[in-house]
Chain A
């Protein structure tokens, strides 16, 4: 274990950077960029430090003592005469196998996105300040163990994202930005409501033997902490757990984005500047599924078990629907955006299986989709920077003009298709194995496998339209990648292939936690009585 509060550091480092940037001069755009890059690089270092001292066998999930790097102290603690106004919120951070991959992913994607932000010229100061704020929000979501803290970070990302899309985006940026904002806010008000409901339904045992209401996720997971009259307590015969679950799920589903809440995604992606698309697809979408795994599953194990078929159904719809719609796209970026919809469907399907294999696959897919889609959006960015068009039919034959670029594109595309030896294959395979193993999900899984066919279809078609065939003379003067672009692509490529060949490097991190999660979700009886109170 590490002596200093490393999770706070990794979370608030970007905020520190933001303040530094605020006090820098507008003209120092180079130093601002280097500062941002330095901070994201430092985040990677910290994430690696975390990884180096990470205990692979600790389960986490529902057991506070098996979380790692815990930082917990009282933040808000209002105690009145009765419980009135009494809110106890802990500053509670810690990671387990569920969050560790996401922390790594966030650090990595932020770094790459910072690199790809190099050619931002408009209001550099504002851009990077917001960028770092966004970074902090994302990191915070993944390390928080207190629901309230989680929610603060969750919402913290909205505004920077709005501005980053709205100011630095494409022609319809305002529409896309507000659409993103409204959709996500719409989702998060439901999360808020459920959060409050949970707060009222459960109490935590304090050191002095008293019981206080709590936002601690871990305390909320324990059925023994629920009082019989709580509206979200399974003991309460009129409980609203099902409705709450659906509301919470909807809140997270919008972020994933799950059909039919996905329509903000193509717009946001198309309009957002490349680095923001990278972050959006690379990290933000994962928050939805992370939230479901971290919060919905262990807090509502009973409902989760009841609804797993529906979750899988939505997973299947996402996979097939996303792929089919992607097939019809004429805009490169939109196509990638819909491919994200499809790929996040695998995560849903894997999660729905409630088996170790499936959930391992789902989390692994979250990580892999993060790296692969980040790379895909970078790819779009590279070609858009040079040609200022994204129409799939505007290209042709770029392979001869930009061979190295094409090489990376091929890697990324085949990774997205799920070619073995690349990370995407392992996670998709695990998802299918997990889901197929569950009797009730078998048919859905079989239908979902069509996704790998359609995925190959739209990806290869794209590859062909852009890179193959005779060179479009318009682009005869395009330059191949420069050093900075190499620096973006190489780490991602290495990770994609490394994890494809040796997936255990990542799976071992999450495995203990996934086993605890599955064990917890499948065996917990929510009606355990508290007794008293």
Chain B
């Protein structure tokens, strides 16, 4: 019987992390990029919780995960505000096109 162990969580976390990075790098829409960031944050969260659980480190890890979730929410709020602002200025949210500031 398959026991779900630390490694499984770590694999999932790694996959999520990679997907997040992939999303950040490839998505054109700013909102999609933001979602990629969420994936990265949550992959870390999985780590925290999993380590906390399997490593007998107490509840610290899970508390951290809560902090991160809250912060992620705040970040998302600010991010969406900024994206909105960008949309008002550029009339689009394609991060590829927003490259006026460069060499």
A/B contact in complex, CB under 8 angstroms: no
